Amino acid sequence: MADSSTIVEITGLRKVYGGKAPVTAVDGIDLRVTEGELYGLLGPNGAGKTTTISIATTRAVPTAGQVRIAGVDVVARPAEARQFIGVVPQYNTLDRACTVAENIQFHCIYFGMSRAEGRARTSELLDQFRLTDRATAYPQQLSGGLAQRVQIARAIAHRPKVLFLDEPSAGLDPQSRIAMWEAVRGLRQQGITVVLTTHYMEEADELCDRLAIIDHGKILVQDTPAALKASVGGDKIYDLRLHDSAAVEALRIELETTQGITKVEPTEGGLRVLARGQDGLLAHVVTLANGYGLRDVSTAEPSLETVFIRLTGRDLRE
Amino acid sequence: MSSAAVVPVPRQRPSYLKAFGGLLLRDLYVLRREIAPFLIRVAMNPLLFLFVFTYVMPHMSGAAAAASPAARMAGMGGGGFGTVLLPGLMAVAIMFSGIAAVALPLATEFGITREIDDRVMSPLPIEGVALEKIVFSAAQSLVAAGIVYPLAYYIPSTPVQAHVTSWPFLFLVLVLGSLVSGALGLTIGTSVQPKQIGLIFGVVVVPITFLGCVYYPWAALTHIRWLQYAVLVNPIVYISEGLRAALTPGMGHMPDALLLGMLVFFFALLTWLGMRGFRRRVVS
């Protein structure tokens, strides 16, 4: 990798919504997204992800802090910054009075393309997103997944530097979600930087090069999905449940001294063992636990969910 | 690792003009598809109004005829009710186009669909998007006024006495009146909650029409002094009186300079209010 270049730069971002009971939606966020990266903001609903994206896309004004897209301050020069930004909001904002093709075509024209350029770009995008046969359909006639694809096609029509996707898979069926993931990966191959928000672990894990876990308007941690999962302290998780909770403490002491096991922590009715993946270790653990009345064992690999629970003590799904 | 250089992007000022033109083109394109509803919307009100009050009523006899406004207005000199209505109905058409072209669509676009988002995200200051709404509406108002003129001229059974003394003045009044109407539509569209948009007919459109010196010249209010002063806050008054001054000067009207001044004043005021409301709606 040559030198990395920052395309999205967020510094000390704060947003307080006024009113009788002021709400701090974003509480001091700093982040940098490198060109070409697929960056995720992962967190529960109400964590401040959408507000962060709204500010970065010139749709909300921050209380404090700064956002620069391709070096342009979005608060001071919003119209200029919008040239570099593509946005797909959570809801379907397609122009209901225009067809699919016209939605994309007019978007091109707003961004200064001639009508001929706009037409050429539109057919290229319709083709890329496999929408050609729906070109003359109106937005009301599209399924959620198709509308989402049209929105992505429209958002990148002016060749922005960064595409912001706000909860792209909200309301999509599993099949459309996979199609959407494919489309997003395709964008990355074209060199478009993507910033997305999600509260789906699998989505963040599957798609993102790097991600920030956000809660209560603050970034708790940011890294690659692999590094985040590794931070849990093991690459295998064994959940043991015992018949007799009195035996738990004794088993714990025994397990903690076992080689390959990095951490043992009590759970309801048993123990959670974090371990390095090692041949024969599971068999060993099971044999050992059998002596203490093992009732059941389940194994898992650390997920972003595990990371989130460790950081916040809460489940991500409300 | 820590040396993160900012990507050098060729600094290019976005072309506001192209974006603005694109927005206009989109609106024109959509309107072209709905040209029949547009024509019906513009023509129906004046057509029926003229038909009933300046054709049907004058043909009645007896008490009904004596009670008709046509009969009373005839006594004012200058050519009867038809002559009063010509500029008045053009003013209504201009005003109503502002409501129909800006306020009503904005209500849906700000509502559930948030359709305006893509246009707000165009490389143009947000005020430019709002201004496009005003300009597009003004263009529709001009067309509407052009459609009403022949109707109001030819339908009345008594000849309408229209006479243009100054074309530049007529042009100025039409353009300023249309811009005022667009700005009014923007102000209403951005200040009314989408679900209450149905109310604006009763609460705004009907009162400003009936109290807008549409069906009577302002001077005729002289015997109801309080009303004569009260209606001065209504921008429609200056559109109908302005057209009266430009088209039917025999009828008696406000001074030309005052009319132009008030139209400019209302255009500035309503544009400011409308743009402020627009910004509030799209930027949080």
Domain with CATH 3.40.50.300 in chain A: 6-94+155-228
Mean pLDDT over each residue of chain B, to the nearest integer:
85
Would you say the C-alpha torsion A145, A147, A148, A149 has a positive or negative sign?
positive
In this structure, the strands spanning A261-267 and A218-223 are unpaired
Which tokens hold the place of A313?
Answer: 């003590």
Give CA torsion, residues A13, A17, A21, A23, to 10 deg.
-40
Question: Residues B249-270: what's their mean pLDDT?
Answer: 89
pLDDT at A283: 87
Question: Residues B62-83: what's their mean pLDDT?
Answer: 59
Q: What is the CA radius of gyration of chain A?
A: 24
Least CB-CB distance to B14: which of A17, A54, A112? A112
Q: Look-up: residue for tokens 């109106």? A: A138
**pLDDT greater than 80 at residue B34:** yes
Question: Residues B231-253: what's their mean pLDDT?
Answer: 88
In a domain, B42, yes or no: yes
In a domain, B245, yes or no: yes
Domain with CATH 3.30.70.920 in chain A: 233-301
Cβ-count burial B119-144 (b if 16+ within 10 Å, e if not): bbbbbbbbebbbbbbbbbbbbbbbbb
- The CATH number given to A6-94+155-228 is 3.40.50.300
In a domain, B106, yes or no: yes
Query: pLDDT tens digits, chain A, 318 residues: what are they?
Result: 434 689 999 999 999 998 888 899 999 999 999 999 999 999 888 889 999 999 999 999 999 999 999 999 999 999 999 999 999 998 889 999 999 999 999 999 999 999 999 999 999 999 999 999 999 999 999 988 899 999 999 999 999 999 999 998 888 888 888 888 988 988 888 889 999 999 888 888 888 999 999 999 999 999 998 888 888 777 788 888 888 877 788 888 888 888 888 888 888 878 888 888 777 888 888 888 888 888 889 888 888 888 888 788 766 654
Bridge partners, A64 (sequence order): A14
**pLDDT greater than 80 at residue B73:** no
Subunit contact B114:A57, Cβ cutoff 8 A: no
**pLDDT greater than 50 at residue B7:** no
Closest approach of A6 to chain B, Cα-based (Å): 5
User: DSSP code of A271?
Assistant: E
Closest approach of A31 to chain B, Cα-based (Å): 12
A34 has a chain B CB within 8 A of its CB: yes
A285 has a chain B CB within 8 A of its CB: no
pLDDT at B4: 47
Domain count of the fold of chain B:
1
Topology (CATH) of A233-301: Alpha-Beta Plaits (3.30.70)
Q: Provide the number of CB pairs (under 8 Å) joining chain A to chain B.
A: 121
Question: CB within 8 A of B15, min separation 6: which ones?
Answer: A112, B123
- Give the three-state DSSP class for A291: coil
Residue B248 has phi, psi (to 5 degrees) of -125, 65
pLDDT range class, residue B145, cuts 50, 70, 90 = very high
Q: Look-up: residue for tokens 């496009």? A: B132
In a domain, B10, yes or no: no
Q: What is the DSSP string of A147-170?
A: HHHHHHHHHTTT--SEEEEESTTT
Subunit contact B118:A112, Cβ cutoff 8 A: no
Residue numbers of the domain that contains B113: 16-26+33-60+74-282
A223 has a chain B CB within 8 A of its CB: no
pLDDT at B116: 86
Q: Considering chain B, what percentage of its residues have pLDDT values greater than 70?
A: 89
Here the ipTM equals 0.83
pLDDT at B275: 95
In a domain, B56, yes or no: yes
A85 has a chain B CB within 8 A of its CB: yes
Query: Which residues of B make CB contacts under 8 Å with A?
Result: 1, 3-9, 12-16, 18-19, 21-23, 25-26, 29-30, 33, 113-126, 128, 282-284
Residues of B in Cβ contact (< 8 Å) with A59: 120-121, 282-284
